[in-house]
Every structure is written in C-alpha cells, then in structure tokens.
C-alpha cells in the first residue's frame, strides 16, 4: 500500500480521468444521507475520539476495484477533497467482491480495513524517523548496498544488546563460581593504585604561559605535519601588519 500524488497524471482516454484527484471528483456524491459511491468509515484515534471519513474505489488507468491494483480515496470531505485530509492509496489488497480475489496471495480487504491500515503509517513513520536519528541509521552516505545493510544490522544488534542490559535486573554474584582464567593475572584496573609522584614533572613553567598558537611552533615542526619542507619567509610585515623576522 502506497500513497499517490493527487495530480500525478497517467495515460487514459480523453473522456476519462487522468489524475487521482480527477478520479475522486468523478465519483458520485450527493450528501451524507445519499453518499452515492462513497462509504462512511469510522476512524479511531489514539486520544479516544473518532471521526467519520469517506472512502471509495476509484478508476484511473489500470487502477480499479476489479484490477490487481486498486485506487482507494479516503477523505473527510468528498466535495472539497482537502489536501491535508485526503488520501489517494494504491493497494494490491483485492476487493472482497472482485473476481480475482481467489488466486491473490493476499486476503481481501474492504474500505474500512484499508483506511485503518494506512492510518497506522504516520505513527510508524514518526517512530522510524526518531529511531533513525537516534541510532544513526542515516549515517551510511557514500556506502555500498552491502555496507548499508551491514551497518543497520550492527546498529540493531547493539541497540538490542543495550536494551536488554538496561531492563535486565542485576542478578546476585556467585562467589563459588570457578575462575575461568586461573593462570592469568588480574584484569586491568583491578590492581593497586600507584602512589602519587613526589617529584615535579617539570622544573619550571614555559616562557610564554599562554594557550598554544600555531605561530609559536617552529617552522620545521609545522612542515613535518603536512609532509612539506620548511620554506622560511623573508622578513617584513605580514598580512596583519606585524613585523616578521627570521628564526
């Protein structure tokens, strides 16, 4: 099940709809008591309130209730078709009365079921976006397809391990358990803390006790960092007007 853009066009005869919104406007509608081709669908929201939407199977190009792929329109207003409250859905779930529902690998779905299923998408999309940003699923640019799948697998494994450790209650320590490595010494960090040194590490302070600055380093040291040879500059004022001397 995917959403279609309302104004995306398709090839069709001149007297038939060419876009999804045109297919929706071609459906018969009089009023709520005489809905024509529209069916009322009650939507249940998380906060407990309900809304009445209207849904219908539309015909557009190869889409139709008797086709392998259906075009279902769901909206709060079949006349105005508000942009923020109208869905144009393409689904391969067969119509309950369609003749091809028997060989289809998917069970038939009426309009209420299709609207209910697509209503879950915003929550899944919102949760997926938050998890993707939180776990770093989006940090796979300029990688191959296999590297992307490996990255997401490692992220899932790491998250599952941390989740399990976070909620697992701490168990009692078994003091009678044998040492798995009796011949090895203690692990790092378990040894005695060495005494504090009695001698100073430095006998004095630097000549210029200020923050480090690149111009305080000798040119040979700077040249060794980027692999280039030292090229001393001639004496004279620099770009900021300070006098420059040879070292």
208 pLDDT band, cuts 50/70/90, is low
Residues 62 and 112 in one domain: yes
**Model pLDDT, residue 104:** 76
* 213-219 contact pairs (CB < 8 A, 24+): 218/247, 219/247
* Residue 63: inside a domain: yes
With a cut of 60, say whether residue 32 has pLDDT above it: yes
146 and 105 both lie in a single domain: no
Greater confidence (222 vs 39) lies with 39
Residue 65 reports pLDDT greater than 80: yes
Residue corresponding to tokens 């009796």: 182
Return the higher-pLDDT residue of 176 and 146. Answer: 146
Residue 244 lies in a domain: no
Does one domain contain both 90 and 46?
A: yes
Same domain, 98 and 26: yes
115 and 129 both lie in a single domain: no
Q: Are residues 77 and 156 in the same domain?
A: no
Q: Where is mean pLDDT largest: 55-69, 92-106, 170-184, 206-220? A: 55-69
**Is there a domain that residue 26 lies in?**
yes
In a domain, 74, yes or no: yes
- Decide if 65 is inside a domain: yes
pTM for the structure as a whole = 0.55
Which of the listed residues 119, 148, 181 is the one where a domain comes to its end?
119
Residue 54 and residue 140 in one domain: no
Indicate if 41 and 110 belong to the same structural domain. Answer: yes
Task: Please count the structural domains in the chain.
Answer: 2
Q: Are residues 144 and 91 in the same domain?
A: no
- Is the same domain home to 57 and 135? no
- 84 and 47 assigned to the same domain: yes
pLDDT of residue 39: 96
pLDDT above 70 covers a percentage of the chain that reads 66
Q: Is the pLDDT of residue 225 over 50?
A: no
Assigned domain for 225 exists: no
Indicate whether 144 and 81 sit together in one domain: no
Mean pLDDT, the chain, whole residue set: 77
Range of the domain at 67: 2-119
pLDDT at 6: 94
Residue 135 lies in a domain: yes
CA-CA distances (angstroms) from residue 69 to 90, 91, 171, 240?
A: 7, 6, 55, 71
């Amino acid at each position: 099940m995917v959403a279609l853009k309302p104004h995306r066009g398709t090839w069709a005869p001149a007297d038939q709809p060419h876009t999804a919104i045109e297919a929706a406007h071609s459906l018969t509608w009089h009023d709520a008591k005489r809905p024509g081709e529209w069916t009322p669908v009650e939507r249940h929201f998380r906060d407990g309130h309900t809304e009445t939407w209207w849904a219908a199977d539309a015909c557009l190009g190869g889409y139709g209730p008797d086709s392998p792929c259906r075009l279902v329109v769901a909206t709060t207003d079949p006349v105005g078709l508000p942009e923020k409250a109208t869905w144009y859905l393409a689904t391969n779930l067969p119509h309950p009365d369609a003749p091809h529902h028997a060989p289809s690998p998917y069970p038939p779905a009426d309009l209420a079921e299709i609207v209910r299923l697509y209503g879950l998408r915003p929550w899944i999309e919102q949760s997926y976006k938050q998890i993707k940003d939180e776990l770093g699923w989006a940090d796979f640019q300029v990688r191959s397809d296999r590297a992307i799948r490996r990255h997401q697998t490692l992220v899932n494994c790491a998250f599952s391990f941390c989740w399990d450790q976070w909620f697992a209650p701490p168990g009692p320590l078994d003091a009678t358990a044998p040492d798995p490595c009796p011949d090895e010494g203690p692990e790092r960090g378990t040894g005695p803390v060495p005494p504090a040194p009695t001698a100073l590490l430095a006998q004095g302070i630097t000549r210029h006790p200020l923050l480090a600055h690149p111009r305080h380093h000798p040119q040979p040291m700077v040249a060794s960092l980027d692999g280039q040879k030292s090229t001393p500059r001639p004496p004279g004022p620099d770009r900021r007007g300070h006098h420059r001397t040879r070292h």
